[in-house]
Amino acid sequence: MRNARKRTFRVLAVTTLAAPLLVAAAPVTSTGWASSGSLDVLLDNEHVVTGELAKCTADGPYGDRTPGGATGDIATFGTGETGCGRTGDVSVAQASGHRFEATVLKRFGGPVLTVRTYSAKCATNATGSGGEVSIGAVEGIAVPAQIPPNDRIVIPGGPAGTALATVILNETVTPQPPDGSMVTHALHIVLFPQGGPASGDIYLGTAACDPFGKK
């Protein structure tokens, strides 16, 4: 069932603190990169990969734009933009996109997922990284009024009672043990996570930061 949400959600991602570090003999430089989206899917024995759309980095290119486009009957990306930079010890990376549509689940009896707008941003600080995402006007799934980090929505209908897909909103990925770095995705679609006729990942709005990335 399609469930439209006309609100725009803006959610702070969890700040990741760095583990204690010994004093380095050489200076370190923060890094960051962003992408408006990406797709890596195996369907009908065909591997479809877009790469990182409109990717930017704190070392350049400092910004990019993609007109979007269709990837067969898997998904269609709208326009997207990114911007990255570094000032002193601070690196910033941000990405946004518009009018995304995923049709891949329709052939299996699932919903068409659409996202009108989305964005992700991160920035480094003296001890780690922090970020935020924004997601607006989602159709095809019911989105909660408040989106916590790593909020998972399961779309049922896969083989033997498994999921067609898992949608992760405001996804924050950090290493263990923590080292101050983080990757945040506005939205992440995992196809048939327990196995099935398709597999792969679709990401909308990715921003990654590391305060100690260049040593």
Q: Is residue 19 part of a domain?
A: no
User: What's the pLDDT score for residue 46?
Assistant: 95
In the predicted structure, residue 10 carries a pLDDT above the cut 70: no
Count of structural domains within the chain = 1
Q: Is residue 18 part of a domain?
A: no
Q: Is residue 142 part of a domain?
A: yes
Q: Per-residue pLDDT tens for 159-214?
A: 999 999 999 999 999 999 999 999 999 999 999 999 999 999 999 999 999 999 97
Cβ neighbour number for residue 161 with a 10 Å cutoff: 8
Q: Is residue 101 part of a domain?
A: yes
- For residue 125, the enclosing domain spans 8-13+31-214
Q: Which of 48, 31, 30 is nearest to 39 (CA)?
A: 48
Q: Is residue 104 part of a domain?
A: yes
In the predicted structure, residue 13 carries a pLDDT above the cut 50: no
DSSP state of 62: -
Q: Is residue 117 part of a domain?
A: yes
CA 95 from centre of chain: 9
Q: Per-residue pLDDT tens for 106-120?
A: 999 999 999 999 999
Predicted TM-score (pTM) of the model is 0.87
